[in-house]
Structure 1
Amino acid sequence: MARGKKSGLKIAIIGGGSSYTPEIVEGFILRYDRLPVRELWLVDIEAGRRKLEIVGELAKRMVAKSGLPIEVHLTLDRRQAIEGADFVSTQLRVGLLEARKWDERLPNLHGVIGQETTGPGGMMKAMRTIPVLLDIAKDIEELSPHAWLLNFTNPAGMVTEALNRYSGVRSIGLCNAPIGLQKWLSKKYDTPASRIFTEFVGLNHLHWVTRVEVDGVDRLPELLDKREEYSGKNVPATEWDPDFLRSLGGLPSYYLKYFYMRDAMLAEQLESLKSNGTRAEVVKRVEDELFELYADPGLQEKPKQLEQRGGAYYSEAAVNLMESLHNDLRDIQTINVRNGKTLDFLPEDAGIEVNCVITGQGPIALPVSRVPEQAKGLIAAVKTYERLTIEAAVTGDRDIALQAMVSHPLVPSVTVAKKLLGEMLEKNKPYLPAFHRS
């Protein structure tokens, strides 16, 4: 990364009008001595212009307060932002929160879990998103072939696998759940994160933590026995069954509640739908409040309310990853990468979420010490659905899309799958033209 070493880094954030942007700007300011950003380009589309201007002006005020020589550029010209970039980070939402609302609502109307990254909702989000990310990847290949593409756009695992399979860009997927767990453990045991080792096994939003060592002491049995858990703002806190958890062999991702506790989670969703609307509608209210705060010309820092969004800490994960790639730190981070031979029951080009050593040349997946036998079937089933969804997104083939929908463990029957697919494709007509050609 010679360019960055000499003159400072150019970083492009695609989806720069996101409510998360102040967090990543704060990260660049705090890490400036190790990650010398000279140009920060915040990119959005016409529909996001107003948010880009509000959050972009806040970013400029934050940088001005810091006194650092970081140039902040706001643009709707993606190619201008990407050209010569060292890092491109994607945090976009195709169809905005309105599309997410239907991802959640339509499955609920058929008695199925409605969630933006899991089940039928996650499938629609993936199919809207993958073609857009592959288009961005073409620009990167042409204008900045040595850049790293760090993808936080959900469903991060599927999107990253599609990038690795269908583009030549150096891409890595990341999620806020692993760093959130590290922070939770650090607080719980009053121990620096550097003294805690966790081993993740599985897929994005479908992982099991099979080792938790704090200062060299194995804490996993204790965590499983006490049912103490780290959860996200976007997943209801419903307790695990104690016998099930103790015998599971790994601390499950909170997203696994949708699979292991489907009845309770669906009941909570249907109740919430009546009282508060979908999660998308709740998030819309939080975002509206955030952007009111951001628009205050006196605000010069990231507001505390940002932590109410489900993706808190993602930007810290993104900045950690950039710093490690830039400086060849060779530390361990949990990210989404190509499987290779790490999980021998999945295809080599499958995307997985595991611990990796982060070098200047990219991540190296670490061997996993143990995969619980009882997790393998669910991992394989969801991976089948993911690969079919990726193929449907790339080809626009309804038959493949139907097979993807039927393959998902949360979809109860072919009848429900056909109804849902028809309704959801119709609702997504503006974003999925390939499925509506005669």
Structure 2
Amino acid sequence: MRLTILGGGGFRVPLVYGALLTDRGAGRVTRVVLHDLDAERLAAVTRVLAEQAAGVPGAPEVSATTDLDEALRGADFVFSAIRVGGLAGRADDERVALAEGVLGQETVGAGGIAYGLRTVPVAVDIARRVARLAPDAWVINFTNPAGLVTEAMSRHLGDRVIGICDSPVGLGRRIARVLGADPRQAWIDYVGLNHLGWVRGLRVAGRDELPRLLADPRLLGSFEEGRLFGADWLGSLGAIPNEYLHYYYFNRETVRAYQEARQTRGAFLRDQQARFYARVKDPSAAALAAWEDTRAEREATYMAENRETAGAGERDADDLSGGYEKVALALMRAIARDERTTLILNVRNRATLSALDAEAVIEVPCLVDANGAHPVAVDPLPTHATGLVCAVKAVEREVLSAAESGSRARAVTAFALHPLVDSVTVARRLVEGYTEVHPGLAYLK
């Protein structure tokens, strides 16, 4: 089976390859094709993968190309993990937003909108090429903002594109661990949009154990989201939010922390990864060791400003091991081998959430088999969550409209309607600021 990874020079590609090395089953991936626009980054990641594969019998063959059509032809699965504008673009997203006093995080608020506006046209082009060159391939979308990009691609690929994220999986795992349950045996009642969802129940042997957790401040204080949001607020919600909802519930504190930070997250990763790629250019450097050192620092500093604001402390060791690559491998296995499983994925709504239309991409538990991912029926969200989901989905639709039409006015509307942007005037200034720094937004007229 052939897997093509778009954004194949990206820093997290070795996580995926490492997961593939553990797969010894029938129908496993035997060839990996890396595609990237940056040949030097491709060469660096290819070196890391070669060191990972050393001594592993039957390791998937790896090749690299800068030709997109060549990479797509013959693919059984396509992982889309691109970053339009690179980490320099992410740092600009943060800087422009913070200058206006609003959040610049890469998937939430103004930063997420800017990232989406320059990513959607590229993702749509990829989807059209996949439909033409590899019509039987399944596309697994890693590219952020994951829900928005998956919805853009689904307009050309239908249900053959599936978005993944490790946040819900990690959250469910932490809750199960605190409750003394095996995450593999627990049913996680999770629903929302990507980076905007809530765990409303965790059932073990038919019994919902979440009320026990919500009633116990000691247990709530023993894991990351409990410390991040606080026991009182979680008790008021009656649910455990995805960690990204901290940007909504504690927005003022988070923006202040980001403004006061020595360096934004995007700027930190830009500089950190530049050092890694520069180091691996040296033929004598141990590429895998350099990657592992860089990754450990990256994971330990994840959402550091939010944890500092909440007094949540350092991340637990069990949460530093990644996760999205495991979701991707489980998804591929389920489809390729018809190994039926349940995963939390980004898929088209159909009739799952009555507040949204059938084509809206949502993040919910799905039954996965050889025919793809099928969302499981869920109870309606409470009113406060429904309002937030509908507001953010409306913003995503404005981003898609702006990307399709090239309308600057639609882009302004997308910013202005977002719950974390508090003024139409600010929205206009954001569009001005982003179009000045991002050549990829020159299409907005």
**TM-score by shorter chain over 0.5:** yes
Q: Deviations over 1:141-171 (max 9, x none)?
A: 1111000000010000000011112445710
Deviates more, 1:147-156 or 1:134-143: 134-143
Give yes or no for contact 1:149–1:169 (8 Å, CA) kept in 2: no
Task: Report the counterpart of residue 240 of structure 1 in structure 2.
Answer: 229
SS at match of 1:263: helix
Alignment of 1:143 onto 2:133: yes
Alignment of 1:25 onto 2:17: yes
Task: Report the counterpart of residue 3 of structure 1 in structure 2.
Answer: none
Alignment of 1:165 onto 2:175: no
Output the CA distance in 1 between the equivalents of 2:414 and 2:195: 18
Output the CA distance in 1 between the equivalents of 2:193 and 2:49: 33
Output the CA distance in 1 between the equivalents of 2:94 and 2:204: 38
Task: Report the counterpart of residue 410 of structure 1 in structure 2.
Answer: 420
AA of the residue aligned to 2:250: M
Output the CA distance in 1 between the equivalents of 2:287 and 2:294: 13
Closer/same/farther in 2, CA of residues 326 and 243 from structure 1, 3 Å limit:
same
SS at match of 1:209: strand
Task: Report the counterpart of residue 267 of structure 1 in structure 2.
Answer: 256
Task: Report the counterpart of residue 361 of structure 2 in structure 1.
Answer: 351
Aligned counterparts, 1:381-392, within 5 A: 381-392=391-402
Q: Give the superposition deviation at 1:305.
A: 4.7
Give yes or no for contact 2:179–2:213 (8 Å, CA) kept in 1: no
Alignment of 1:333 onto 2:343: yes
Task: Report the counterpart of residue 65 of structure 1 in structure 2.
Answer: 55
Output the CA distance in 2 between the equivalents of 1:294 and 1:392: 39
Q: Give the superposition deviation at 1:286.
A: 3.6
Alignment of 1:41 onto 2:33: yes
Q: Give the superposition deviation at 1:217.
A: 4.4
Closer/same/farther in 2, CA of residues 352 and 280 from structure 1, 3 Å limit:
same
Task: Report the counterpart of residue 257 of structure 1 in structure 2.
Answer: 246
Q: Give the superposition deviation at 1:260.
A: 1.3
SS at match of 1:13: strand
Task: Report the counterpart of residue 440 of structure 2 in structure 1.
Answer: 431
Task: Report the counterpart of residue 190 of structure 2 in structure 1.
Answer: 200
Q: Give the superposition deviation at 1:359.
A: 1.1
Output the CA distance in 2 between the equivalents of 1:426 and 1:69: 46
Q: TM-score, normalised by structure 1?
A: 0.89
Aligned counterparts, 1:80-91, within 5 A: 80-91=70-81
Output the CA distance in 1 between the equivalents of 2:23 and 2:221: 32
Task: Report the counterpart of residue 371 of structure 1 in structure 2.
Answer: 381
Q: Give the superposition deviation at 1:200.
A: 1.1
Q: Indicate which of 307, 312, 318 corresponds to 2:328.
A: 318
Unaligned stretches of 5+ residues in structure 1: 1-8
AA of the residue aligned to 1:20: R
AA of the residue aligned to 1:344: S
Q: Deviations over 1:89-125 (max 9, x none)?
A: 0111000011111111111111111111111110110
Q: Deviations over 1:162-181 (max 9, x none)?
A: 11124457100011102222
Q: Give the superposition deviation at 1:70.
A: 2.1
AA of the residue aligned to 1:434: Y
Q: Indicate which of 249, 261, 266 corresponds to 1:280.
A: 266
SS at match of 2:229: coil
Deviates more, 1:83-92 or 1:293-302: 293-302
Give yes or no for contact 2:191–2:364 (8 Å, CA) kept in 1: yes
Closer/same/farther in 2, CA of residues 229 and 100 from structure 1, 3 Å limit:
farther
User: How many residue pairs get matched?
Assistant: 418
SS at match of 1:183: helix
Closer/same/farther in 2, CA of residues 113 and 298 from structure 1, 3 Å limit:
closer
AA of the residue aligned to 1:37: V
Output the CA distance in 2 between the equivalents of 1:146 and 1:152: 19
AA of the residue aligned to 2:74: G
Output the CA distance in 2 between the equivalents of 1:200 and 1:386: 21
Unaligned stretches of 5+ residues in structure 2: 303-319
Output the CA distance in 2 between the equivalents of 1:230 and 1:119: 26
